[in-house]
Amino acid sequence: MKMQLSKSLKYALCAATLLGWSHAAQAATKLTVYTAVEPEELQGFKAAFEKNNSDISIQWVRDSTGIITAKLLAERENTKADVVWGVAATSLLMLDNLGMLEGYAPKGLDKVNALYRDSADAPAWVGQRAWIASLCVNTIESKKYNLPMPTSWQDLTNPVYKGHIVMPNPASSGTGFLDVSSWMQIWGEDKAWEFMDGLHSNIGIYTHSGSKPCKMAGKGEFPIGISFAYKGAQLKNKGAPLEVIAPKEGLGWDLESFGIIKTSKNIAAAKRFADWSVSTEANVMYNQGYAVVAIDGIAKPVKGFPPEVITRMIKNDFAWAAENRTRILKKWENRYGSKSAPK
């Protein structure tokens, strides 16, 4: 009995090994892609790309923008990533400054809006879609506290909102910094600090993630969240009592973008994925949820997304923001970082 058992176990192992081999023989080039795109979307992108590229298999490593960027910067030339995809352009700029990205002009690059890509002929990074700063306002809680509906950033300094606003801490979250840098680009630094002094006295708490303020607003934890439009629309469509507001002075934004890693051993496959990523098919998919995509004329309006969000996007200077980030954050931490929550 014992013999038999071990024999059948051996057969089973052999069969399993063979299966594994035959699977490996068919299996395609494994393309390791680091991404910050929301997990529920990844399956769709993978299937769509592999449909016509069956010799390539995408392996996602998905995490938040901060984690993915830190991981890449720590791994540097030893990274296992072939492509970075759906990650903030500001992060890709950092990688590019370290010489980690391989310039490549994907087929069809000419259709991509020049604002949304690295300007080099063989760009180090190409944008896919934009996420845009907005306010998420909980209608039920606003009514409860008798809060007027804000229409501008300046409105938020009104003492009536005291303790009712959440925003991402710019020192922990790229979205938080995007807000701060956009206010500075709109008003100049001095006026922006003045505005933030007023805003700070109304802030309930600063969060460590960019989408968190909108989620908190959605649950009524705090009535107003400074977050981004995409998240607001998504939660609203899921049934949250939210209104997405685009403050009239202008809105900061960043791009989900991709770039090819220079040390990749699968450059050819990576380039094909890059080609697909600027295709019309991909851009149509980007439009699910995001109202602004890299190729003009493709995007259709997204449910729950106020149309003026798009027209109020500021002319964003990524290079200026990157250069001044450390200096601004240090000042921000000293002014607001160490104070306790306002009562």
Using CA atoms, how far apart are residues 182 and 116, in angstroms rounded to an integer?
Answer: 17
- Decide if residue 305 touches another protein (CB under 8 A): no
First to last CA, the chain: 75
- DSSP class of residue 313 equals B
Give the DSSP H or E segment for 281: helix 280-286
Q: Are 133 and 178 in contact (CB under 8 A)?
A: yes
Q: What is the DSSP track for 9-73?
A: HHHHHHHHHHHHHHHHHH--EEEEEEE-S-HHHHHHHHHHHHHS-TTEEEEEEE--HHHHHHHHH
Q: Are 224 and 156 in contact (CB under 8 A)?
A: yes
Residues 238-267 that bind another protein (CB under 8 A): 238-241
Shortest approach of another protein to residue 286 CB, angstroms?
17
- Decide if residue 73 touches another protein (CB under 8 A): yes
Residues 308-337 that bind another protein (CB under 8 A): 325-326, 329-330, 333-334, 337
Using CA atoms, how far apart are residues 119 and 156, in angstroms rounded to an integer?
Answer: 36
Q: Are 259 and 177 in contact (CB under 8 A)?
A: no
Residue whose CB is less far from another protein, 205 or 314: 205
Residue whose CB is less far from another protein, 72 or 313: 72
Residues 79-138 that bind another protein (CB under 8 A): 79-80, 94
Residues 171-210 that bind another protein (CB under 8 A): 171-174, 204-206, 208-209
Shortest approach of another protein to residue 104 CB, angstroms?
23
Shortest approach of another protein to residue 305 CB, angstroms?
16
Residues of this chain that bind another protein (CB under 8 A): 30, 32, 38-40, 42-43, 46, 59-64, 66-67, 69-71, 73-75, 78-80, 94, 140, 169, 171-174, 204-206, 208-209, 211, 214-215, 218-222, 231, 234-235, 238-241, 325-326, 329-330, 333-334, 337-341
